[in-house]
Chains A and B, each alone.
Chain A
Amino acid sequence: MSSLKLTAVHKSYGSVEVIKGVDLEIKSKEFVVFVGPSGCGKSTLLRMIAGLETISAGDLEIGGTRMNDVDPSKRGIAMVFQSYALYPHMTVRDNMGFALRFAGVAKDQIAIQVQQAARILALEPLLDRLPKELSGGQRQRVAIGRAIVRNPQVFLFDEPLSNLDAELRVHMRIEIARKATMIYVTHDQVEAMTLADTIVVLRDGIIEQVGRPLDLYDDPANQFVAGFIGSPKMNFLAATIVEKTTSSVTLELTNHGRARLALPVSGGAVGEAVTLGVRAEHFGEPGAGEVDIALDIDVAEHLGSTSYVYANRGGEALTIEREESRNEIGMQTITVSIDPVRAYLFDARGQRIR
């Protein structure tokens, strides 16, 4: 069993609290990705799971056993570091077999296991080289190989695949993720979307939301997650609630000549300042939605299949995505429509109004 459970986990450095109470359950063989902006505590959380940082408060269970004070090598985990952390004075073979040597595994058994891992990662011709004689991608594979050799229940990755070639990434997703639980740290939300079964969005030492990639995209719990998941970033428009019924509210868009639209939500109060969230790809042709807004174009990028129009109105910058559109070439303004069904509403504290 290789499930993981974090209960009210805290971490403080002196008086500075960096992890402020994390509760999380990870199922066996799940591929979990931690995302969040720089400094939010992703690495710290991962290192606490690995046993490289002490847990200030709370419990960590791996496979049903409390692991707070267990030695890192006895937690059934392996870790791939951002810098790979290969031992520079050892050959690839010795790097990969090092942990087994200290675990008291017999020499010929080590050789077999190293050979197996080397085959999976196509490292066989490199086994007798030193790390400094390898390319970046090869070092990365050795780092992954060193983790595989230990046959862990849980793999921990701290942003290691940023320059991994696509083939190896797919390979890893299939070869490794089948056999063990994966916890993968990244600040790249695209990587998170492509790799994860479950994404954990962190900010300032707390979990903002946990969910499947498309659930986070379709149904963000708050403005932070809405802005973080999805590329380009979700657009936010200032608005005020001017009317309300039991099943809808009517908004007035602050920067768009008091244009009004009704949203099918039941929360909110009249007079409340709110934020309307619309994804770049959800703006429609003029007249297609409930309200049209006009914007001044700053720049338009045409990528062929898609175009991004960067526009603004009243100091509010918006990004509009258009498929196969060349219409914006040479234009000064653009008019788009907003479809209330595909828009999100957030209160002043950034929480979703549903």
Chain B
Amino acid sequence: MSVTPATMAQAARRTDARAAIRAPADPFAMVRRGLVYLLLSIAAFVSVFPFLWMVIGTTNSSADIIRGKASLGGEFFNNAVTFFTQVDALRVFWNSAFIAVVATALTLLISSLAGYGFEMFRSRVRERVFALLLLLLSIPFAALMVPLFVMFSQARLVNTYTAVILPTVASIFIIFYFRQATKAFPTELRDAAKIDGLKEWQIFLFVYMPVMRSTYAAATIIVFMANWNNYLWPLIVLQTAENKTITLIVSALTSAYTPDYGMILFGTVLATLPTLIIFFLLQRRFVEGMLGAVK
């Protein structure tokens, strides 16, 4: 390459830029930044390590895992085969997916409607009802479990998808989340829509929902994960193997007389995949939603 003044100038600019990165004006800023990176790396390692260990475990035999082997092995295929012969994976995945998808859709619809209503409609008792609702949040699920089971058995709904889905759809936490988010929703948009001739339900459907899509994305991740990983209530209410979810099945594998850890970890990784996929699909919106951005 011939050296022209232009390329020299370019090169000079590039080295200038590099120098600027290497030698910040304030040496303390360097130290501070280094510390931040160090802490972040530790935090990242702590949160990523179990996941990494789980993935590595799928390639090792049960015996190796117990011995503490933490490097890749050659047992992945065997583990997969054992898992698929012991578990009716298609059926179990279908159960989980159906329950999680339907429950997520219903929860978002019903709880966002409630949160929207709480924020948009003035009433004298509104704050009191809302406070009561938040108070209910403090009742542990363990206390509700038995009466809930009695209710569902009287309604002859035990061992159905409905029984798993129904108690989750009016989520107080999600109602609260949507009420908070709705505070950032401009009321003038609702007024404009009224003048444009929309009914209340149309305003919700055609204005509120699209405007709040970041909030919905964030809520989708939270609710989907909660439903996919839901354990205790499905454990109680789903009684036959053909109705059970992946969470129940994988955890049941551990209670075998000699648990096959390689195979179990394979199942665990499989069970984790859908939430990961949902998260990466909605990641950008999730961050916006958590920041409360109405774009």
A98 near B188 with CB under 8 A, answer: no
Q: Looking at the complex, which one of B191, B197, B211 makes contact with A99 (CB distance below 8 Å)?
A: B197
A102 and B294 within 8 A (CB): no
Whether A81 contacts B192 by the Cβ 8 Å rule is yes
Q: Is there contact, CB below 8 Å, between B211 and A82?
A: no
Q: Which of A150-207 contact B (CB under 8 A)?
A: 150
Asked if A102 contacts B192 (CB within 8 A), the reply is no
What residues of chain A lie closer than 8 Å to B193, measured between beta carbons? 87, 98
A102 in contact with B197 (CB, 8 Å): yes
Is A85 a contact of B186 with CB atoms below 8 Å? yes
**Contact stretch, chosen from A56-64, A71-79, A283-291:** A71-79
Q: How far is the CA of A103 from the CA of B202 in the complex (A)?
A: 13
Q: Is the CB of A85 within 8 A of B189?
A: yes
Say yes or no: A73 contacts B194, CB within 8 Å.
yes
B26 at the A interface (CB under 8 A): no
A132 contacts which chain B residues (CB < 8 A)? Answer: 295
Q: Which residue of A lies closest to B197 (CB)?
A: A73
User: Any chain A CB within 8 A of the CB of B207?
Assistant: yes
Q: Given A47, A77, A88, which contacts B295 in the complex, CB threshold below 8 Å?
A: A88
- What residues on A are CB-neighbors of B294 within 8 Å? 88
**B189 and A99 within 8 A (CB):** no
Contact yes or no, A98 B196, CB < 8 A = yes
B202 touches A72 (CB 8 A): no
Closest approach, in angstroms, between the C-beta of A40 and any C-beta of chain B?
A: 20
**Chain A: interface size category:** 20 to 34
Q: A87-B211, A88-B211, A88-B294 are in contact. Are A99 and B196 (CB under 8 A)?
A: yes
Are A85 and B191 in contact (CB-based, < 8 A)? yes
Looking at B196, B213, B295, the one whose CB has the most chain A CB atoms below 10 A away is: B196
Q: Is the CB of B198 closer than 8 A to any CB of chain A?
A: yes
- Given contacts A52-B191, A81-B192, A87-B211, are A103 and B186 in contact (CB under 8 A)? no
- Which of these, A47, A89, A102, A146, contacts B202 with CB under 8 Å? A102
Is A83 in contact with B211, judged by CB distance below 8 angstroms? Answer: no
**Please, how many angstroms separate the alpha-carbon atoms of A78 and B207 in the complex?**
18
- Most chain B CB within 10 A, of A51, A82, A102, A103, is at A102
User: In the complex, are the beta carbons of A72 and B186 less than 8 A apart?
Assistant: no
CA–CA, A87 and B208, complex, Å: 10
A50 proximal to B (CB < 8 A): yes
Within 8 A of B (CB), among A31-57: 47, 50-52
A78 touching B195 by the CB < 8 A rule? yes
The residues of B that contact A87 with a CB separation of less than 8 Å are 189, 192-193, 207, 211
- The answer to whether B210 and A72 have CB atoms under 8 Å apart is no
Interface centre among B186, B191, B202, B294 (most CB of A within 10 A): B191
Q: How many residues of B contact A (CB 8 A)?
A: 18
Contacts of B213 in A (CB 8 A): 89
Knowing A87-B211, A89-B211, A132-B295, the reply to whether A72 touches B195 (Cβ < 8 A) is yes
| A79 in contact with B207 given A85-B186, A85-B188, A88-B295 (CB within 8 Å) | no
CA distance A85 to B192 in the complex (A): 7
Residue in A86, A89, A103, A146 whose beta carbon sits within 8 Å of that of B197 in the complex:
A103
Q: Which of A51, A85, A86 has the most CB of B within 10 A?
A: A85
**With A87-B211, A88-B294, A132-B295: A82-B197 Cβ-Cβ less than 8 Å:** no
Asked whether A83 and B194 contact (CB < 8 A) given A88-B294, A88-B295, the answer is no
Task: State A72–B196 Cα separation when bound (angstroms).
Answer: 8
B182 CB to closest chain A CB (Å) equals: 15
Residue in A51, A82, A89, A102 whose beta carbon sits within 8 Å of that of B196 in the complex: A102
Contact A52–B210 (Cβ < 8 Å)? no
Which residues of chain A have C-beta atoms less than 8 A from B189's C-beta? Answer: 85, 87
Cβ distance A183 to chain B, nearest Cβ, rounded Å: 14
With the chains together, A132 CA to B189 CA distance in Å?
15
Are A82 and B202 closer than 8 Å at their CB atoms?
A: no
Chain B residues whose CB sits within 8 angstroms of the CB of A52 once the complex forms: 191, 194-195
With the chains together, A72 CA to B192 CA distance in Å?
A: 10
Minimum C-beta distance from B216 to chain A (A): 12
Q: Which of chain A's residues has its CB closest to B191's CB?
A: A52
CB within 8 Å of A: which B174-205 residues = 186, 188-189, 191-198, 202
CB-based nearest A residue for B294: A88
* Residues of chain A contacted by B207 (CB below 8 angstroms): 87
Residues of B within 8 A of A81 (CB): 188, 191-192
- With both chains docked as a complex, state the minimum distance between the C-beta of B186 and any C-beta of chain A, in angstroms: 6
CB-based nearest B residue for A99: B196
A79 to B191, CA, bound (A): 9
- The interface residues of chain B lying within 8 Å CB-to-CB of A103 are 197
What is the CA–CA distance of A103 and B295 in the complex, to the nearest angstrom?
Answer: 27
Query: Across the interface, which residues of A come within 8 angstroms of B198, CB to CB?
Result: 73, 102
Which residues of chain B have C-beta atoms less than 8 A from A99's C-beta?
A: 195-197
Would you list which residues of chain B between 257 and 295 have a CB under 8 Å from chain A? Answer: 294-295
Q: Which of A82, A83, A89 has the most CB of B within 10 A?
A: A89
A72 to B186 Cα, complex, angstroms? 18
Given contacts A102-B202, A132-B295, contact A89 B210 (CB under 8 A): yes
Which residues A81-117 have CB closer than 8 A to chain B? 81-83, 85-89, 98-99, 102-103
**Which of B192, B202, B211 touches A79 (beta carbons < 8 Å)?**
B192
A79→B195 contact, CB < 8 A: yes
Chain A residues with CB under 8 A of B197:
71-74, 99, 102-103
Say how far B52's CB is from chain A's closest CB, in angstroms: 40
Considering the complex, give the chain B residue whose CB is closest to the CB of A50. B195
Q: Could you pull out 6 A-B pairs where Cβ atoms are within 8 angstroms? A: A50-B195, A52-B194, A79-B192, A87-B192, A88-B294, A99-B197
6 new A-B contacts at CB < 8 Å, known A85-B191, A87-B207, A102-B198: A51-B195, A73-B196, A83-B188, A88-B211, A88-B295, A98-B193
Sort A-B residue pairs by CB-CB distance and give the 4 closest, nearest first: A73-B197, A99-B196, A85-B188, A85-B192
